Structure 1
């Protein structure tokens, strides 16, 4: 009886725990709103973060668990997270001009923004949080800076009154770059010891636990100030040595700088092997030690996607290696020295040669280069498929080739046979006419 009673209690606990898990999971899943074409009637009401998807899309399926985490994280905010099956509700896809899946949109009133960054929870949440508020957020408490520095690894700060030409230009530029960076405004008393303020108004960017000042604030010509500040914000909105991915490389190209990349490789846990980590640190030391010398012309970074670099360089680059890409012309430069012989001093000499245009450049945007790059990508993709799964590659490309051969055979071979029969008929007529035996 005791054993039976204990068993019943255990079963009851298991059932209770299972019920709790189902409730929790269903609650978490319900954070993502499944929307229909009726969304077109309400999309201007409030703020929405929407994933436009198709059920057959593999990229959409990989994004689903991440999207659930995004919805869970933003549940306590005013941002509603949803998704729409564009294969069922084609009117929605047509209205928002959806060209591919998945497409992530942030909607607020008459404004909508397309997300083009990395499909990770943190990056998507940052994107939504930046757009959920005004272009420039005001900081009124000194203690808020401690939280700000902890949560934001990079932000822009205007210190001074909300008036004057510098403030107007800053506010307008903040509205332009709002999807990509955080912008704040405060007063000297509030900022106090958190930032080096000598006089106001002033502008700073915070990254790597250091504030860097905008030094051209004395410009009196409005257009020149706008162009100078725009260029400064565009160049400073990245960390000194970021990880470069498919999601942010296009934004890095917009800096119009030379992109200096340490090409590495990660394992499945996104860990860099020790030998490559040493190479990465060595390349990073160049910009950390010589920021004033190289910051205006070069944007440093590291990339763990060799396929992307191979496509740019149109060759299989060794690992680790160094490549410099001109973001304006799409030319690239590769050191003549082997990767293991590169040192900070050698890299500095190489960068100086690029500045003086005394080093060979490759690639570019010519038609011939584009054709060759397309051919290289196709050839590289086929080679990768063959190495990964030769049987599947044979099935995918062997069967179409076989069918094509049969079609060609049926088209050409009957003509040959008909020609032989026609020649044979003429030969028989000739024999019959002249009585040749």
Structure 2
């Protein structure tokens, strides 16, 4: 009897999902909607025809394997087959990565790498602020977390309340911890409590605005500080994180380089990238509040922003508030740390030439540039297919327009033929 009950339970579970042998990924059906609020779920909403979904598949398998021993269940849903699931979660594109915890739903907007997706899930499976009670835990924390926020002090008071509130907002994007001064010991430079730090690049940076007496001002200052500090000092910028970097409302300074298919950068490009990185590392106090530095290897994305083919390597600075961008007049080979400093000072004083923006003319020109670039890439890749894709519809449209715009000519030809026929009959 017990064996039968176990068999029935197993059959019931398999009715909701099945496990792929290699990946430990749960293949979910629309019956998942009945259990969506039970436990914690990391889901990939996909379509079989989606090329991006196919590229994510092996990464998703590694994510499932990494989280197999955790309470997080990793699954995926074919939204073309189970449209009710897509409608329930308002899926607008594929793939969409979501984390579900009870009534809470979180959508992932970062890079589609195993490391970043796993960190996203681990952040959300825990409370917004995790407590550290043992000194030796900091060694593990520093080893496993390249960036985290740390509150030192009691779980009471204005700063704690605002810290917890801010952590609740940014939990999908960063790790937040709390501890006591006796526990943190020598791992963070605590002189007085409460104290607040961000840890990155093996250094703790102190939040200096906790003495603000105005509650609203302190709340805005803390929110702005966390929002800006949740990124490394010099991150790799991709399509996955550039929109998040725009939320800093800083000028985004990008060293533009080129990678090969193995994500390898040539020595001359590395030298240029390192030069730009050294500037923010040595001049952090001068530029950190106004500029977010990073490097990017996606030339198509940069060309789309600049609306021109940017040389490699090069430098571009994007105003994330107005969407204007700045490009130095000097050739990339002539850019030195001193020249870049002078360029950044021109931007701060608003004397540097600016391009782009959000006007309708700029949007129109960007659309034309991206269309031209896309068609050019298609033509270089497969000219015959491109000619067929655009030639056949153009031919049909030409015939339709000809029939609409020139009916009088066709009718005139028919009338002339009829008139000639009548005249011929009369002569006979």
- Scaled by the length of structure 1, the TM-score of the pair is 0.90
SS of residue paired to 1:194: coil
Report the CA distance between 1:406 and its aligned residue. Answer: 4.4
Work out the CA distance in 2 between the residues paired with 1:28 and 1:166: 47
From 288, 299, 302, the equivalent of 1:309 is 302
Q: In the alignment, what sits opposite 2:353? A: 360
2:70 equivalent to 1:74: no
Report the CA distance between 1:409 and its aligned residue. Answer: 5.4
SS of residue paired to 2:77: strand
2:182 equivalent to 1:189: yes
Aligned residues: 409
2:87 equivalent to 1:94: yes
Q: In the alignment, what sits opposite 1:237? A: 230
Q: In the alignment, what sits opposite 1:127? A: 120
Report the CA distance between 1:127 and its aligned residue. Answer: 0.4
SS of residue paired to 1:261: strand
Alpha carbons 1:28, 1:72 under 8 Å: kept: no
Superposed CA deviations along residues 361-399 of structure 1, whole A, max 9, x for unmatched, are 111011111111111111111111112222222222223
- Give 5+ residue unaligned stretches, structure 2: 1-18
Q: In the alignment, what sits opposite 1:398? A: 391
Report the CA distance between 1:429 and its aligned residue. Answer: 7.5
Work out the CA distance in 1 between the residues paired with 2:216 and 2:49: 49
Alpha carbons 2:328, 2:343 under 8 Å: kept: yes
* Larger deviation, residues 407-416 vs 190-199: 407-416
- Give 5+ residue unaligned stretches, structure 1: 1-24
Work out the CA distance in 1 between the residues paired with 2:279 and 2:94: 40
2:279 equivalent to 1:251: no
Q: In the alignment, what sits opposite 2:191? A: 198
Note the 1:11-22 alignment, pairs <5 A: none
SS of residue paired to 2:240: coil
2:33 equivalent to 1:40: yes
- Scaled by the length of structure 2, the TM-score of the pair is 0.91
Work out the CA distance in 2 between the residues paired with 1:238 and 1:228: 17
Work out the CA distance in 1 between the residues paired with 2:346 and 2:258: 27
From 266, 269, 273, the equivalent of 1:276 is 269
Q: In the alignment, what sits opposite 2:373? A: 380
From 299, 309, 314, the equivalent of 1:321 is 314
Work out the CA distance in 2 between the residues paired with 1:217 and 1:417: 83
Q: In the alignment, what sits opposite 1:336? A: 329
Work out the CA distance in 2 between the residues paired with 1:296 and 1:408: 58
From 19, 28, 47, the equivalent of 2:22 is 28
From 93, 103, 106, the equivalent of 1:110 is 103
Work out the CA distance in 1 between the residues paired with 2:425 and 2:36: 89
Work out the CA distance in 1 between the residues paired with 2:381 and 2:20: 38
Report the CA distance between 1:422 and its aligned residue. Answer: 2.3
**Relative to 1, partners in 2 of residues 1:26 and 1:44: Cα closer, same or farther, differing over 3 Å?**
closer
Alpha carbons 2:326, 2:355 under 8 Å: kept: yes
SS of residue paired to 2:318: strand
**Relative to 1, partners in 2 of residues 1:291 and 1:422: Cα closer, same or farther, differing over 3 Å?**
same
**Relative to 1, partners in 2 of residues 1:26 and 1:98: Cα closer, same or farther, differing over 3 Å?**
closer
2:167 equivalent to 1:174: yes
Work out the CA distance in 2 between the residues paired with 1:412 and 1:326: 48
The structure 1 segments of at least 4 consecutive aligned residues displaced by more than 6 Å after TM superposition are 427-433
Q: In the alignment, what sits opposite 1:144? A: 137
Superposed CA deviations along residues 125-155 of structure 1, whole A, max 9, x for unmatched, are 0000000000001111111111111111110
Superposition CA RMSD, Å: 2.0
SS of residue paired to 1:28: coil
Q: In the alignment, what sits opposite 1:297? A: 290
Work out the CA distance in 2 between the residues paired with 1:410 and 1:364: 43
* Larger deviation, residues 138-147 vs 391-400: 391-400
Alpha carbons 2:47, 2:94 under 8 Å: kept: yes
Alpha carbons 2:20, 2:26 under 8 Å: kept: no
Report the CA distance between 1:27 and its aligned residue. Answer: 3.6
SS of residue paired to 2:93: coil
SS of residue paired to 2:134: coil
**Relative to 1, partners in 2 of residues 1:290 and 1:50: Cα closer, same or farther, differing over 3 Å?**
same
* Larger deviation, residues 388-397 vs 210-219: 388-397
2:211 equivalent to 1:215: no
Query: Greater Rg, structure 1 or structure 2?
Result: 1
Alpha carbons 2:120, 2:173 under 8 Å: kept: yes
Work out the CA distance in 2 between the residues paired with 1:83 and 1:432: 78
Work out the CA distance in 1 between the residues paired with 2:243 and 2:414: 64
Alpha carbons 2:36, 2:102 under 8 Å: kept: yes
